[in-house]
Amino acid sequence: MENQTLSNDIIDEAYNRLITGDHLKYWDERLKYYDEFEDSARKILKLCAEIPIGRSKEDLLANLSAKKSDIEKTETNLARLLYILKNDGYLIENDGKYMFRSPLLRDFWHNRFIK
């Protein structure tokens, strides 16, 4: 890509290399430090990556509690995870919906875990 004239094709190629390569894998690997919440955090991120406009807290709760009988504990864990995921730079809240802070990170997540 060196010494090439900048064009939309070059930009698209660079973007695709970023979302398909290992440059952003840190965002995946660091979830192991979430310990017992790792699986739920991954599910939340996958759900948020599926829809670019984000998901409501109620939608996330419904998806997380589908197989759990203790809805209050699930609700508490969801609130904690959303706080952590926002604090760690994965998600933002916008108009009551949780979405990826970065479209690049969302596309990486979508490419790696949904496609």
Count other C-beta atoms under 10 Å from residue 108's C-beta.
Answer: 22
Q: How far apart are CA 24 and CA 13, in angstroms?
A: 16
Does residue 42 belong to any structural domain of this protein?
yes
CATH number, position 12: 1.10.10
pLDDT (tens, 9 = 90+) of the chain, 115 residues, equals 567 788 888 888 989 999 998 999 999 999 999 999 999 999 999 999 999 999 999 999 999 886 667 888 889 999 999 999 999 999 999 999 999 999 999 999 999 999 7
Q: What is the pLDDT of residue 56?
A: 97
The domain tally of the chain equals 1
Q: What is the pLDDT of residue 67?
A: 65
Q: What is the pLDDT of residue 12?
A: 87
Does residue 2 belong to any structural domain of this protein?
no
Does residue 1 belong to any structural domain of this protein?
no
In sequence order, what are the residues at sequence separation of 6 or more whose Cβ sits closer than 8 angstroms to the Cβ of residue 79? none
Q: How far apart are CA 76 and CA 56, in angstroms?
A: 15
Does residue 104 belong to any structural domain of this protein?
yes
Please give the residue range of the domain that contains residue 54.
Answer: 8-113
Q: How far apart are CA 38 and CA 24, in angstroms?
A: 18
Does residue 3 belong to any structural domain of this protein?
no
Q: What is the pLDDT of residue 103?
A: 95
pTM: 0.87
